[in-house]
């Protein structure tokens, strides 16, 4: 029996291989091309730009330094390494969690901000200028932002509200000093300021949040004399005597010391805290030479996530005044229910009221962070010629609205729990008309030296589809540091005695030899995703613009995205911006151009139907002007967001009822009814397909619709499988359009050969392996591939595939036979494939291994060569002598093809399972398309009749060798499977060119 697969197993429909279609497009906007006409010259411009975009579109690395204990020559060598590999830049980060002997880092002489550190930064900037890559400066050492010499008592240092507590029985008298804080102050904190003293009756004790009687609250602040208070509890119940103290929190940046004197974290909610950062840079770092070096376009000033941590309650001087000004009432009576210990609330009044007050407090912090930190820091950076890139999350702040303030808002793949976490920030970016959504990408806990590029690409392609368009890979470590073992310094490995966080990229990794193709793929993909403007079908109203929560739009995740819908989020603050307008039925028409809004109850507060007065009135106005809305849940008694009052509640109720009364508004009880409501409103998705794991991002440019699609995960642990299905795309413009396919692995742009067209909707077959991506463009004829501009296309065929070769149609089949072909001009044809060779399994191999082992120093590597004859493929850990090997293996074999093999015959090389990065040569010619996420390669034009030589080079991770090199850290883990596992097969096909 033949080993040939059935035609249906390769699909009787035509599928576009993702590895052949993963790339970019054309746009108007920053760095975009002008609209292309149907001429050869415009085509060459598109082709050249997509094939080799500017370096600024390349992925970047987070570059970990052991602060200033670095050699400027080595620094410059590392900049050259990433530039030559095809990456776009590096972000200097003073991070060295793995170093145990911190004093050996010499914080006094080589710490962050010292002359030695500044000299190294200058050397890096000089080399970055020579290599045309970006270099980003981090606000302070490690994170959060901190300033050397700042002490906790300084006005600019981050503060906390610590509470003291005494429990009194009925009628008991307290006559003593004001209760001291229950949470002791950190070192170096000397100054404390009493804010208030109160007493309140305890109603219900609890190990979670004890219930207090709000009406019983007594303010005793005025009774304090000389630090003492005398007060007798009433004769009923148990009473709590509270004191509240403002003091420095004493928070230090992660894994210090980084400087001498030490740097303490600044107050991110006060102007003084931000000024401390900018003043230190202005006075101690930014000399004339450095200012000149950073003027080069593309550099950014970066700040990590808002990880403000305290054992008490986060605070800032002037909070009581700021709270009253923003919210219109006094926070003081609610101090008992907002104090925390180790991020846990201790007490509550009425649960609903308490939650509303806490929300008001969170939004006050959010506004202070925006006004006193983000905006001043952005303006200061602009004066230096820098853009501001910040991870503006970590607390309950309106990250969505803040994303529109920043030049480059940044997310992170480690802390974000699903794709909606990114869509929150993408919504803020797009509504503000900005372009970049950056991501600290591909950090995995416990995976040091065990990360493969297919895992990285699966992560990146998934988040790209959610709106990210700039990856800052985690990360690239400086070569060495005190105490670092082979293969060199790694910022997070070892970490508390365990392997720690990944990954230490660079030449120390065997896969680095294959990285240039991956870097080119990322550069082309990010070029696509930075063109024009992102478009989304739906926007979900969100009462709070928080992110990194994992709480998304449930209907969209479960039943919207799987069928092609796209969506983002909008918060109250973003929605009420006067710049958010309605035109031609689209909200924010120059940006995401939403078709409809879904209004849900508060996902963070039990789906409570609350909304701010301003947002409710904006929704009512938009509804009256005809914009479609779907309200989900019971909105018969909405209330104002936060504590509000009767007048605010009434205003919200009127606005919501006004909206619900409009003919373009629907109110559904359950999420399952959302599709029916959208259909009744005439709202349709731009992309349609059967249920699958496909996700996409749509970019609209001056003359093209670009659709980047990925077979991606909503969460890291979601399983993926091969997707083969038809996908329909609707253009946003009229005209004589055709679909193009863009391959980010090769830089090729070609017109699609197989599709159906109904009006401005184009239906294409799609093949996406797990983690892979593809790009489809809808653009005018001649926008690209002018040789086939007027060629007829294939509407339907029972062959395996078809493509356009200039004006001709080439039909491909995996078995001999006569195949029916329906063409776009209405004609039909028959493609006769006379013969197709049998499938060939490649099982016998010669494997030459270069096993990477520790050299004489922590940064040198020795290679041990061995040769293995394999009659069957197996992982390295199952091959004698390679059980602990890591490195590079070259698999070679020969295959003899029949004399009938000619230009009408081709083949796929199916590698099966490859555990590592790889490169392939056929007859000493490289196969250009080698995606780690798709191991089926089209090698038809490389094979010939007679003897053919096949070479497959596989680079493994270093993990198995690390088990023996650092057994105290990695030895307890089991060996991992690496290498070429297969099965490897030649899958022949026949091709027939239809007569014109």
Spatial contact of 694 and 727, defined as CB atoms under 8 Å apart: yes
Residue 5 has pLDDT above 80, yes or no: no
Would you call 826 helix, strand, or coil by DSSP? coil
Helix axis angle for 453-465 and 515-529, nearest 10°, is 0
* Three-state SS at 157: strand
Reported as a single tens digit per residue, the pLDDT across 248-258 is: 999 999 999 99
pLDDT of residue 40 exceeding 50: no
Cα-based distances in Å from 8 to 15, 16, 655, 724, 813:
12, 15, 57, 12, 11
Rg of the chain over all Cα atoms, to the nearest angstrom? 31
What one-character DSSP code corresponds to residue 188? T
Strands (E), 942-993: 946-955, 979-982, 984-993
| Strand 438-441 to 408-412 pairing | parallel
Average the pLDDT over each of 38-42, 525-529, 719-723, 775-779 and give the range with the smallest value.
Answer: 38-42
pLDDT reported for residue 715 = 62
> Is the Cβ–Cβ distance between 91 and 302 less than 8 Å?
yes
pLDDT of residue 14 exceeding 60: no
Rounded to whole angstroms, how far apart are CA atoms 460 and 962? 26
Cβ-based neighbours of 371, under 8 Å, separated by 6 or more = none
What would the pLDDT profile of 333-345 be if each residue is shown by its tens digit?
999 999 999 999 9
Pairing of strands 723-730, 737-743: unpaired
pLDDT band for position 36 (cuts 50, 70, 90): very low
**298 vs 99, more confident:** 99
Give the tens place of pLDDT for each residue, 388-404. Answer: 999 999 999 999 999 99
Q: What is the pLDDT of residues 427-484, one digit of tens each?
A: 999 999 999 999 999 999 999 999 999 999 999 999 999 999 999 999 999 999 999 9
User: Which 8-state DSSP code applies to residue 200?
Assistant: E
CA distances from 656 to 631, 660, 667 (A): 10, 6, 11
pLDDT of residue 470: 98
Q: What percent of the chain has pLDDT over 90?
A: 92
Q: How large a percentage of the chain has pLDDT more than 70?
A: 95
Q: Any alpha helices (H) in 590-670, and if so which ranges?
A: 613-624, 646-660
pLDDT at position 168 is 98
**Is the peptide bond prior to 592 cis by the omega test (within 30 degrees of 0)?**
no
Q: Give the three-class secondary structure for 17.
A: strand
Return the pLDDT at 718: 72
- The pLDDT value recorded for residue 48 is 80
For residue 15, the model assigns a pLDDT of 37
CA 906 to chain centre: 39
Q: How confident is the model at residue 45 (pLDDT cuts 50, 70, 90)?
A: low
Amino acid 940: pLDDT: 87
Rounded mean pLDDT, 796-808 = 95
Rounded CA-CA distance 815/837 in Å is: 8
pLDDT for the residue 717: 66
CA–CA gap between residue 677 and residue 657 (Å, rounded): 18
Residue 28: per-residue pLDDT: 30
Residue of 243, 128, 772 whose CA lies nearest to 456? 772
User: Does the structure show a pLDDT above 80 at 24?
Assistant: no
Cβ atoms 509, 61 nearer than 8 A: no
pLDDT for the residue 17: 38
What pLDDT shows up at residue 26?
33
Compute the 3-state secondary structure of the chain and give helix, strand, coil in percent, each to the nearest 5.
25, 30, 45
Q: pTM for this one?
A: 0.95
**Per residue in 126-162, pLDDT tens?**
999 999 999 999 999 999 999 999 999 999 999 999 9
Q: Average pLDDT over the chain, rounded to whole?
A: 94
Q: Which of 270, 292, 312, 277 is nearest to 183 (CA)?
A: 312
Predicted confidence band at 996 (pLDDT cuts at 50, 70, 90)? Answer: low
CB 818 within 8 A of CB 831: yes
Residue 772 has pLDDT above 50, yes or no: yes
For residue 739 the two structure tokens come to: 């679909």
- Let me know: does 665 contact 631? Beta carbons within 8 Å: yes
Classify 272 as helix, strand or coil: helix
CA dist., res. 221 & res. 232, Å (int): 14
Taking only the tens place, the pLDDT of each residue in 663-702 is 999 999 999 999 999 999 999 999 999 999 999 999 999 9
Burial 836-860 (b: 16+ CB within 10 A, else e): bbebbebeebebebbbbbbeeebbe
- Regarding predicted confidence, which is higher, 880 or 12? 880
Q: How confident is the model at residue 30 (pLDDT cuts 50, 70, 90)?
A: very low
> Would you say 23 and 528 are in contact if contact means Cβ atoms under 8 Å apart?
yes
Which tens digit of pLDDT belongs to each residue from 60-111? Answer: 999 999 999 999 999 999 999 999 999 999 999 999 999 998 889 999 999 9
Pairing of strands 134-138, 801-805: unpaired
- H/E run at residue 678: helix 674-680
pLDDT of 46 higher than 90: no
pLDDT at 995: 83
Strands 159-168, 192-204: pairing is unpaired
Q: Which two tokens stand for residue 152?
A: 């906790």
């Amino acid at each position: 029996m033949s080993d040939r697969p059935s035609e249906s197993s390769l699909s009787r429909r035509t599928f576009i291989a993702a590895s052949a279609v993963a790339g970019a497009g054309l746009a108007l906007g920053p760095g975009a091309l002008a609209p292309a006409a149907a001429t050869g010259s415009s085509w060459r411009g598109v082709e050249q730009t997509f094939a080799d975009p500017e370096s600024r579109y390349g992925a970047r690395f987070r570059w970990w330094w052991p602060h200033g204990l670095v050699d400027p020559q080595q620094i410059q060598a590392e900049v050259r390494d990433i530039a030559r590999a095809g990456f776009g830049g590096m972000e200097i980060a003073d991070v060295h969690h793995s170093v145990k002997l911190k004093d050996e880092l010499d914080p006094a002489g080589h710490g962050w901000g010292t002359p030695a550190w500044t000299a190294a930064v200058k050397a890096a900037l000089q080399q970055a200028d020579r290599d045309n890559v970006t270099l980003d400066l981090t606000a302070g050492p490690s994170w959060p932002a901190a300033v050397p010499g700042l002490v906790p008592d300084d006005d600019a240092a981050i503060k906390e509200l610590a509470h003291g507590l005494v429990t009194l029985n009925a009628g008991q008298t307290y006559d003593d000093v004001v209760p001291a804080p229950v949470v002791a102050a950190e070192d170096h904190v000397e100054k404390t300021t009493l804010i208030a003293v109160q007493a309140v009756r305890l109603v219900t004790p609890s190990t979670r949040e004890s219930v207090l009687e709000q009406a019983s609250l007594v303010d005793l602040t005025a009774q304090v004399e000389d630090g003492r208070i005398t007060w007798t509890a009433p004769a009923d119940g148990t009473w709590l005597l509270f004191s509240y103290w403002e003091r420095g929190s004493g928070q230090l940046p992660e894994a210090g010391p980084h400087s001498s004197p030490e740097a303490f974290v600044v107050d991110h909610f006060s102007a003084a805290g931000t000024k401390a950062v900018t003043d230190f840079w202005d006075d101690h770092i930014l000399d004339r030479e450095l200012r000149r070096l950073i003027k080069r376009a593309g550099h950014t000033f970066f700040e990590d996530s808002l990880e403000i941590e305290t054992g008490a309650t986060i605070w800032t001087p002037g909070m009581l005044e700021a709270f009253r000004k923003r919210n219109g009432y006094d926070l003081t009576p609610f101090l008992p229910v907002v104090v925390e210990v180790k991020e846990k609330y201790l007490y509550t009044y009425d649960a609903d009221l308490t939650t509303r007050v806490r929300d008001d407090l969170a939004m006050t912090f959010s506004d202070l962070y925006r006004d006193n930190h983000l905006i001043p820091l952005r303006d200061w950076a602009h004066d230096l010629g820098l853009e501001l890139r910040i991870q503006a999350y970590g607390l309950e702040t309106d990250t969505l609205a803040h994303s529109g303030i920043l030049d480059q808002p940044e997310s992170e793949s480690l802390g974000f729990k699903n794709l909606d976490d990114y869509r929150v920030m993408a919504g803020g970016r797009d509504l503000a008309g900005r372009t970049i959504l950056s991501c600290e990408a591909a950090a995995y806990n416990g995976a040091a030296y065990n990360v493969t590029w297919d895992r990285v690409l699966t992560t990146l392609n998934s988040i790209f589809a959610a709106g990210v368009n700039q990856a800052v890979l985690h990360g690239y470590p400086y070569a060495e540091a005190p105490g670092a073992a082979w293969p060199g310094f790694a910022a997070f490995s070892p970490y508390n005695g365990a392997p720690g966080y990944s990954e230490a990229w660079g030449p120390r990794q065997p896969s680095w030899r294959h990285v240039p193709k991956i870097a080119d793929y990322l550069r082309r993909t990010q070029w696509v995703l930075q063109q024009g403007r992102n478009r989304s079908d739906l926007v979900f109203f969100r009462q709070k613009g928080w992110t990194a929560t994992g709480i998304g739009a449930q209907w969209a995740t479960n039943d919207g995205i799987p069928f092609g819908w796209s969506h983002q989020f909008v918060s109250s603050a973003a929605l009420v911006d006067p710049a958010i307008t309605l035109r031609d039925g689209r909200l924010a028409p120059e940006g995401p151009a939403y078709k409809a809004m879904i209004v849900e109850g508060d996902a963070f507060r039990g789906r409570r139907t609350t909304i701010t007065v301003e947002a409710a009135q904006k929704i009512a106005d938009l509804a009256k002007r005809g914009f479609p809305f779907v309200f989900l849940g019971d909105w018969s008694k909405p209330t104002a967001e936060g504590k509000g009052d009767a007048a605010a509640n009434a205003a919200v109720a009127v606005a919501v009822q006004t909206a619900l009364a409009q003919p373009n508004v629907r109110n559904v009880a359950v999420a399952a009814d959302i599709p029916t409501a959208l259909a009744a409103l005439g709202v349709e998705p731009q992309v349609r397909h059967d249920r699958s794991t496909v996700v996409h991002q749509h970019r609209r440019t001056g003359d093209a619709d670009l659709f980047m699609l990925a077979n991606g995960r909503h969460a890291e642990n979601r399983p993926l499988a091969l997707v083969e299905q038809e996908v329909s795309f609707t253009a946003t413009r009229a005209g004589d359009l055709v679909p193009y396919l863009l391959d980010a692995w090769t830089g090729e742009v070609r017109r699609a050969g197989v599709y159906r067209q109904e009006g401005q909707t184009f239906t294409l077959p799609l093949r996406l392996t797990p983690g892979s991506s593809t790009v489809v463009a809808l653009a005018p004829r001649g926008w690209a591939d002018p040789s086939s501009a007027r060629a007829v296309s294939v509407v339907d065929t029972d062959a395996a595939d078809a493509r356009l070769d200039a004006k001709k149609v080439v039909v491909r089949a995996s078995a001999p036979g006569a195949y029916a072909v329906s063409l776009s001009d209405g004609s039909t044809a028959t493609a006769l494939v006379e013969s197709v060779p049998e499938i060939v399994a490649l099982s016998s191999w010669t494997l030459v291994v270069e096993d990477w082992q520790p050299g004489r120093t922590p940064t040198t590597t020795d290679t041990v060569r061995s040769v293995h004859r394999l009659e069957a493929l197996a992982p390295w850990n199952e091959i004698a002598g390679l059980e602990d090997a890591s490195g590079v293996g070259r698999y070679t074999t020969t295959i003899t093809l029949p004399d009938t093999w000619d230009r009408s015959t081709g083949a796929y090389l199916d590698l099966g399972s490859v555990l590592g990065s790889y490169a392939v040569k056929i007859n000493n010619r490289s196969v250009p398309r080698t995606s780690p996420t798709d191991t089926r390669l089209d090698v038809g034009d490389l094979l010939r009749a007679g003897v053919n030589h096949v070479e497959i080079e596989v680079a493994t991770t270093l993990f198995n060798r690390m088990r023996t090199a650092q057994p105290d850290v990695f030895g307890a883990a089991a060996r991992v499977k690496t290498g070429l596992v297969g099965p490897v097969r030649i899958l022949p096909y026949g091709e027939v060119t239809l007569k014109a």
